Amino acid sequence: MTTPNIPLGPELTAEQAEEIFEMGREAVVFALLEQAKMLAERQPGGASPSTPSGMKPPYEKPAAKGRRKRPGRKKGHPGSRRPPPERIDQRKEHRLLRCPDCDGRVRRCRDTRTRYTEDIPADVRPVVTEHTIYRDWCPQCRKRVEPTVSDALPGSTFGLHVLVLSAWLHYALGNTLSQIVEVFNHHLHFQLSSGGLSQQWHRLTRILYPWYEQIQAAALQSAVLHADETSWRVNGKSHWLWCFATDGLTYFMIDRVRGSPALLKFFTHEFTGTLVTDFWGAYNKVACARRQMCLVHLLRDFVTVEKYKRPGEHWPAFAKKTRRLIRDAIRLGKRGDLLPEEFASRRARLDARLQQLIDTPWQDSQAKRLIKRFRRHRQHLFTFLDEPDVPFDNNHGERSIRPAVIIRKNSYCNRSQRGADTQAVLMSVYRTLKQRGHDPIQTVANAVATYLTAGKLPSLPPNTTANG
């Protein structure tokens, strides 16, 4: 018994179900059994194919694959170890009086060896400074004036290094607020409260906000920009974390919507570079000069169709041709030994093959869906072959957003919109400083001290890395 031309599964419509019902009792029983079989073949625990890995129990995940190669350097390579310290703070001598094996007395020799250890003092104590601030009279202004203390924010009882270090632990490394408070209270003997620390982070955000705007401006002027998004929670409500990244910066934005209105808040004018994204439809509203669609996402879509969608008999031919076209394009992009004429000829043949694929009247429903995508993004699939430094995937965007995903897993996102704004600003600043080769803690501390003294934040430090 079969149900001709009626695909079973999540795509089954009400009209198709009525058509099966009109075929009779046997057709209904067959359709129900097929649906039950498809449910049983889904992932354990009732999880759908789109369920994130972090939401699946560990015992329901497949066993990890073994390493392709052993970790570490190959045999014959020189070893790598910690270099000797440049400064010696204290010296200790160690000598035995009796043998540790037979307990006999040892004979003194002149043979010695040297060993270095570096450690943190067991009793770390905060430095308490008493500031005597002279208030003098200005005859011209006819008022009392006093110097600015640049060691801490106005009215704050703890210094800039505590503020900047704690913010770095939370917004760059993903430590929770309770963990940071516990480390300071017990190990560093510095008493902090979670509420007081959060308020100081909000104040730090207001100071560093010009850097956040400079990061956005630099991203909009970049030649290649990667974009990605992931879910976020603010006060228990669904939000979205947007990430825009290059080799020298990362800009995070938390917004209530996942559609084009959120993107228009970032893209304040036409983007003149190449935007690299997946196939999420909201990116189609962005005005940009060029786009590159992630071909790895496209190949993953083929795996999803074959594993979960039950494609028809015409699918294998379509999948084979499309996969071969994509892989040939990727291989051509890696060829650096071709003459310009030969490269242009192969590039033109790829366009012809893509057009032929689009013009073919495919009968499979999944093939038709992907053909619509190819038709819409015909000019955006092979941009990496025409523009230098444009990759064929969005791997950089996914790697840039991953630290925020880890933070989301630890801290459960934000409890207020103000906290979400602070999260976006400080994550962007710390991540960008690291990408540009600067010490995030000392750089931010020095910038805030300059702001307190001069009343103006210095410019965002430039990129000092080799690829910047």
Asked whether residue 73 carries a pLDDT value surpassing 70, the answer given is: yes
What is the pLDDT at residue 70? 78
Confidence of residue 15 (pLDDT cuts 50, 70, 90): confident
Phi, psi angles (nearest 5°) of residue 83:
-70, 155
Q: What is the DSSP string of 280-311?
A: -GGGGGS-EEEEEE-HHHHHHHHHHIIIII--
Sign of CA dihedral 428, 443, 215, 212: positive
pTM: predicted TM-score of the whole model, two decimal places: 0.82
Higher pLDDT, 199 or 308: 199
Confidence of residue 288 (pLDDT cuts 50, 70, 90): very high
CA 36 to chain centre: 38
Residues 6 or more apart whose CB falls under 8 angstroms from that of 322 comprise: 302, 357, 370
- 289 vs 383: CA distance, rounded Å: 11
Query: Which pair of tokens denotes residue 368?
Result: 């038709």
What share of the chain has pLDDT > 90, as a percent? 72
Mean pLDDT of the chain: 90
What is the pLDDT at residue 49? 57
- 143 vs 145: CA distance, rounded Å: 6
Per-residue pLDDT reduced to its tens digit, 385-404 = 999 899 999 999 999 999 99
> Residue 423 in contact with residue 177, Cβ under 8 Å?
no
- 41 vs 9: CA distance, rounded Å: 12
What is the pLDDT at residue 6? 73
Torsion angle, alpha carbons of 390, 321, 51, 63, to 10? -100
Radius of gyration of the chain (CA): 31
Per-residue pLDDT reduced to its tens digit, 209-260 = 999 999 999 999 999 999 999 999 999 999 999 999 999 999 999 999 999 9
Residue 75 backbone zone (phi > 0: left; psi -120 to 50: alpha; other: beta): beta
Query: Which pair of tokens denotes residue 167?
Result: 């913010």
Query: Which pair of tokens denotes residue 40?
Result: 């049983």
Per-residue pLDDT reduced to its tens digit, 109-132 = 989 999 999 988 888 889 999 999
Map tokens 């307190």 to a residue: 452
Beta strands 136-138 and 237-246, pairing class: unpaired
Residue among 248, 207, 245 nearest 229 (CA): 245
CA 237 to chain centre: 21
- 60 vs 51: CA distance, rounded Å: 12
How many other C-beta atoms can be found within 10 angstroms of the C-beta atom of residue 136? Answer: 8
- 354 vs 325: CA distance, rounded Å: 8
Confidence of residue 4 (pLDDT cuts 50, 70, 90): low
What share of the chain has pLDDT > 70, as a percent? 94
Q: In the beta sheet, which residues pair with residue 240? A: 231, 255
What's the rounded mean pLDDT across residues 286-310?
92
Asked whether residue 427 carries a pLDDT value surpassing 90, the answer given is: yes
Map tokens 């074959």 to a residue: 306
> Residue 390 in contact with residue 276, Cβ under 8 Å?
yes
Per-residue pLDDT reduced to its tens digit, 150-201 = 999 998 989 999 999 999 999 999 999 999 999 999 988 899 999 999 999 9
Per-residue pLDDT reduced to its tens digit, 28-55 = 888 888 777 776 655 555 555 556 666 6
| Upper half-sphere CA count for residue 405 (Cβ side, 13 Å) | 15
